[in-house]
Structure 1
Amino acid sequence: MILLVDAGNTRIKWRVVAAGAPLVAVAEGALAHDEVDMLAAVRDRHPQLQRAFGCNVAGADIAARIAAACAGLHLQWLTPTAGCAGVRNLYEHPAQLGADRWAALIGARALHPHACLVVTAGTATTVDLLSAAGEFLGGLILPGVSLMQQALARGTAQLPLADGRFALQPRCTVDAIHSGCLQAQAGAVERMFRQLADQPQALCLLGGGAADSFADLLRIPLRRVDNLVLTGLGAVAGLPPAD
């Protein structure tokens, strides 16, 4: 059995999988950063675990705490490369691609072997193009919905950080802020999808904690998929050992 770990900017998501083709999910969950030590309890509940495989964009301290919680397991971290699991990385410097984006692209390829736009809406929103041939063509990183709202509150004297409602024609400030941030997310996604729209079975795979806030605004072929990073980690973990 393998423990998959996605250490993101806000939360740490995990999944226990059993050997098989494909790997079979046994259990999964999510932890706040200050709860990372609870991964030890996950390890203890599944004594058949032999190794852990993860990706980390949360920093060295979180990586060290995950390693401590996984004591006794063979722990490996995903490193972006020029190619893996049917995906070719066309980043100018492949190793500089975020490990979470790389895992999500691999997960997307495993779920939808056609052209797709891979969108993860969390603390940041990433919008990545994946060709029908499995080539990562490039993508965007923009502030997530909450970060956009916080930036307006921090950077201006009169725009508040307050809950608003979405409206097509906002008529109060808090609604204008909230609606503007959602429209910005949806607009970025739809503009990027235009590059794939004429390809057979092209699809947007949308996940992340903020995805539902603007999913209904999108007018493109769409599939809501959570935990693409874990799916990608599982695809890599299930590959046969390299010679």
Structure 2
Amino acid sequence: MILLLDVGNTRLKWGLREGGQWLAQGAFAHDEAWTFDAVLPPPGRIDGVCGASVVSPELRQRVADALAAWGHAPQWLTPTRSCCGVRNSYVNPAQLGADRWAALIGAHAHGAAPCLVVTAGTATTIDVLDAEGVFRGGLIAPGVDLMRRALAGNTAQLPLADGGIVDLPTCTADAIMMGCLHAQAGAIERMYRQVAGLPGASCLLNGGAAAQIAPLLDVPLRLIDNLVLDGVAVVQAQGCFR
């Protein structure tokens, strides 16, 4: 049994996998207790820990400390020029975020290429994967909540409030929410033009804001939960952690 991790900017997502199947998945926010003893099998039953991380060394150490009782130091994914059928076109492959790399590998394993791979989290990443499994490039933008907080923190009259999902907002909270969501959808649809003319092209959307953004998109769409964990699982299964 393997514990797989996706350590993002605001949450740690985890999954237990055995024999090519997910046994359980869950998440902890960084500002809450990581009660692994309540969700994981007892020490001795986990054979290894592998993950993708975009956080500081200090937060990685917090992960290692929280899992020390299980006896395995986490192995962290490092983006390379190629892995598991995906090739990396970044000028410096190691500078690509490990979460983006894992999501691309997960998308390829789902048989989704050519596609646009979108993770809508603290940041929104929008990446192009062609039919040959080549990551051609992509964008990084502030996520929905970051956009909302930026407006509240840098303007005198716009509050940080929960807005509703409406077609034509008639109050400020709704206007902010829909403005941020449409900004996300617009960036995704513009980038989708890069693959729109290719046979079988689609957009794979995952992340915490995926369910809010999805109804606004006018592109062929697949919602896939935990695409980063799927990619980490592929890399682990093929023995490519180092």
Cα separation, partners in 2 of 1:28 and 1:170, compared to 1, 3 Å = closer
User: How big is the shift at 1:240?
Assistant: 4.1
User: How big is the shift at 1:28?
Assistant: 1.6
Q: TM-score scaled to structure 2, two decimals?
A: 0.92
Indicate if the aligned counterparts of 2:4 and 2:16 stay in contact, CA closer than 8 A.
yes
Which shifted more, 46-55 or 214-223? Answer: 46-55
Alpha-carbon distance in structure 1 between the residues aligned to 2:208 and 2:197: 29
1:83-133, CA deviations, whole angstroms, 9 ceiling, x for partnerless residues? 100110001111000111111111111112420111111111111111111
1:12-67, CA deviations, whole angstroms, 9 ceiling, x for partnerless residues? 1111111x3xx221222111224464235545436321110011112222211211
Which amino acid letter does the alignment assign opposite residue 164 of structure 2? R
Alignment-derived partner of residue 94 in structure 2: 95
Alignment-derived partner of residue 190 in structure 1: 189
User: How big is the shift at 1:156?
Assistant: 1.0
Cα separation, partners in 2 of 1:241 and 1:100, compared to 1, 3 Å = closer
Which amino acid letter does the alignment assign opposite residue 38 of structure 1? T
User: How big is the shift at 1:148?
Assistant: 0.6
| 1:237 matched to 2:236 | yes
Cα separation, partners in 2 of 1:35 and 1:155, compared to 1, 3 Å = closer
Alignment-derived partner of residue 67 in structure 1: 64
| 1:1-243 → structure 2 map (5 Å cutoff) | 1-18=1-18, 20=19, 23-35=20-32, 37-45=34-42, 47-71=44-68, 72-240=71-239
Alpha-carbon distance in structure 1 between the residues aligned to 2:95 and 2:164: 37
User: How big is the shift at 1:189?
Assistant: 0.5
Alpha-carbon distance in structure 1 between the residues aligned to 2:175 and 2:188: 20
Cα separation, partners in 2 of 1:46 and 1:225, compared to 1, 3 Å = farther
User: How big is the shift at 1:70?
Assistant: 2.6
User: How big is the shift at 1:197?
Assistant: 0.6
Which shifted more, 27-36 or 118-127? Answer: 27-36
Indicate if the aligned counterparts of 2:88 and 2:136 stay in contact, CA closer than 8 A.
yes
Q: Which consecutive residues of structure 2, in runs of 5 or more, have no partner in the other structure?
A: none
Provide the aligned C-alpha RMSD in A. Answer: 1.8
Which amino acid letter does the alignment assign opposite residue 199 of structure 2? P
Q: Which consecutive residues of structure 1, in runs of 5 or more, have no partner in the other structure?
A: none
Counterpart secondary structure, 1:160 = coil
Alpha-carbon distance in structure 1 between the residues aligned to 2:145 and 2:229: 23
Which shifted more, 38-47 or 105-114? Answer: 38-47
Counterpart secondary structure, 2:138 = strand
Q: How many residues align?
A: 239
